[in-house]
Structure 1
């Protein structure tokens, strides 16, 4: 593998200052509750809030502010995301079985009671971000969904959160919102798990509260890689890479190809398209720092290298995209064929865009309806099952020197044991 364009070396950043800063915020919110939230909101967002919760009137005004086309498109996206989440939920079956006479085993999929969805503010009003976390939670059967988003968020984001099914919405952002959802305050109830993307402060706060609450993942900057052979179209590839590069200056766009011509033409095409891109300031910084074009000798090498990268979004632009796609293992979401641009999943087609980054796709997938479900086992026995299982349990307990275990097992065979 050789590079036509290599990413710049990344300096290891000292996380100690960030870790300490976030720990202090978490502790302050845990002890100070709503007062601490108001103080941090004034400090970081320059907003003085009387009420932390978004009122029904504010939600009504947000929905009324939508133009007809925006509301229609928003509802269409909600329908698509809901439909796919429901189809996913239908694949998760409860289990009841009797593997041996009198031995009954099974499992249930039980939704968490209360979920907290962080909806970022940031550079752009990401209307789909609210839908991607809230809708799967409601489809899973979560009783109460709490949404937190920074104050002065675009009204359309509030409308999106409400229409997606959030039960309560709070105008609190950043690490302090994570703390509030994890520990609870006078206004914001503690949740069972926190999901949703955010900046490095939100991510570090999620890392520190893990264990107190469950998490979806620790997401980093957006990533997109395209795997292409000589049939790849440099214009389409460049457009897709820049579409993700405009998220953030830390975004990671890349191309892995078996064709030097495609690689070099994509490099030229990126420069051409940047010249007319309104978000070029951000996209160029991301491309210059993290952008990569890798040239591989054949598809085998390209697939192996892509599995090592394990990107958040992985596009396959080859002559046999379905065949190549089946050979890939590590990705957050796979986009098979050049028609399947990442932007469709990012916004509206139905699959979730909250996906693993930073090679985490080696061991996990993205947020989905199953994120909010606990698969909990159960068992019950009839006398025939006890007669078969108990002697094994007795002998195993004896070998391990666990007399209490042995007695509990033997009692079911002989009531006079204890």
Structure 2
């Protein structure tokens, strides 16, 4: 493959390990988690005061506080939340319907079944910080409720010392059973280990900064998690039909997430590449309110590659295995057959990554740092445990399985297992064994 880099991110060849964090982040998170394990609510309050300057009488919002937050939102904001949640709910319900329970009779009298059982308790983290990501409430809380999770706790940080009204409204409307205005590692750790006032959950979901991601990594095993997440990523595959303005606008739309956001363009057209790069610089200099962040991301992590044909473009895109892959070509649906590694695919100029982030209905909690090679993003199925059951209802079937089990277990030197099989062969087929008196 011939690749011509017109722009290259600072460490394009270094590779990033999924779930990795800097030693400083690891140490800070480990210390906070251990303190919360030991000192519970007192430690939670200490870190909330330290990191967020936030120490209300109760981190949990009362019904009156939730209603006040909703009332403080513009009516149009509430209508928009309702519309987006309808979109998310519609897609999530179809996902749930695709997961069916079943029971089959594999042999006469041998019944095997599968059930999809919701997780009992889920903690959802809704980021604040630079941006109040109220859309994450739809993606995490609403999806969990549609999966049938009976208890969903939502945590979101204060913003400049205040309750984030729109985020709280979205969390409540999504179906959160309890809402806490609490951020960072202290929120994630409190939900995972449980404190005097915050119930322990079985599963954590939702995006967050490097500290939140590291907390989830360290807590994984004690609780389940949706996925290991790094900075937002965008990759655009374009041919000579792509509009440079569209390419540039959509690259910047993701670069504004953070200064370490990779934004990659792979194109078969050197003209599109050069004009898109020029448009990016023009837009960043043109008064964009988030230009300070997006400019750093583009400077350090922007990449533009020219390849000979679209097959090479798709092959290279699969190597990146990006979180968001946008296809700006004459025949965008070709990517469905040509590509395999991506968190989510956005086909054609009418479809942008921002739709997936905010409004279209698919989930925006997606794998980063090449994790799309082995996992997809958050969806209804993440909140379900697929469990099996078995029942043998005929004597003959149980006896025959007993004989098979005895032989199979003894081949592995598991005498106890073998005797469980022997007993059924004895009970139902009248086989005799020296150990059965």
TM-score by length of 1: 0.97
CA distance in 1, matches of 2:412, 2:75: 70
CA distance in 2, matches of 1:397, 1:126: 54
CA distance in 2, matches of 1:356, 1:218: 7
8 Å CA contact 1:310–1:360 kept in 2: the answer is yes
Instruction: Give how far 1:75 is off.
Output: 0.6
For 1:384, which of 379, 392, 396 is the aligned residue? 396
For 1:23, which of 17, 22, 30 is the aligned residue? 30
Partner of 1:115: 122
For 1:227, which of 234, 237, 258 is the aligned residue? 237
Runs of 5+ unmatched residues, structure 1: none
More displaced 10-residue stretch of structure 1: 53-62 or 148-157? 148-157
8 Å CA contact 1:125–1:153 kept in 2: the answer is no
**1:213 is aligned to 2:223:** yes
Partner of 1:45: 52
State the Cα deviation string for residues 297-326 of structure 1 (Å, max 9, x = none): 112211111111011110111111112232
Count the aligned residue pairs. 418
CA distance in 2, matches of 1:17, 1:379: 49
- 5 Å matches for 1:230-249? 230-249=240-259
**1:162 is aligned to 2:172:** yes
**1:311 is aligned to 2:322:** yes
Instruction: Give how far 1:376 is off.
Output: 0.5
Partner of 1:324: 335
TM-score by length of 2: 0.93
CA distance in 2, matches of 1:323, 1:345: 20
Partner of 1:3: 5
8 Å CA contact 1:121–1:153 kept in 2: the answer is no
8 Å CA contact 1:179–1:209 kept in 2: the answer is yes
CA distance in 1, matches of 2:54, 2:204: 24
Partner of 2:263: 253
8 Å CA contact 1:316–1:325 kept in 2: the answer is no
8 Å CA contact 1:82–1:139 kept in 2: the answer is yes
For 1:56, which of 63, 67, 72 is the aligned residue? 63
Partner of 1:176: 186
Instruction: Give how far 1:235 is off.
Output: 0.8
State the Cα deviation string for residues 176-210 of structure 1 (Å, max 9, x = none): 11110111001100000000000001011100000
CA distance in 2, matches of 1:28, 1:156: 31
State the Cα deviation string for residues 333-382 of structure 1 (Å, max 9, x = none): 11011111011111111000010011111110010111100000111112
**1:73 is aligned to 2:80:** yes
State the Cα deviation string for residues 363-406 of structure 1 (Å, max 9, x = none): 10010111100000111112232244332221111111111111
Instruction: Give how far 1:131 is off.
Output: 1.2
For 1:338, which of 345, 349, 352 is the aligned residue? 349
8 Å CA contact 2:127–2:133 kept in 1: the answer is yes
More displaced 10-residue stretch of structure 1: 319-328 or 353-362? 319-328
CA distance in 1, matches of 2:326, 2:157: 32
Q: Name the SS of the counterpart of 2:425 in structure 1.
A: coil
Q: Name the SS of the counterpart of 2:231 in structure 1.
A: coil
Partner of 1:264: 274
More displaced 10-residue stretch of structure 1: 298-307 or 351-360? 298-307
More displaced 10-residue stretch of structure 1: 232-241 or 145-154? 145-154
8 Å CA contact 1:34–1:185 kept in 2: the answer is yes
Instruction: Give how far 1:153 is off.
Output: 4.3
More displaced 10-residue stretch of structure 1: 46-55 or 176-185? 46-55
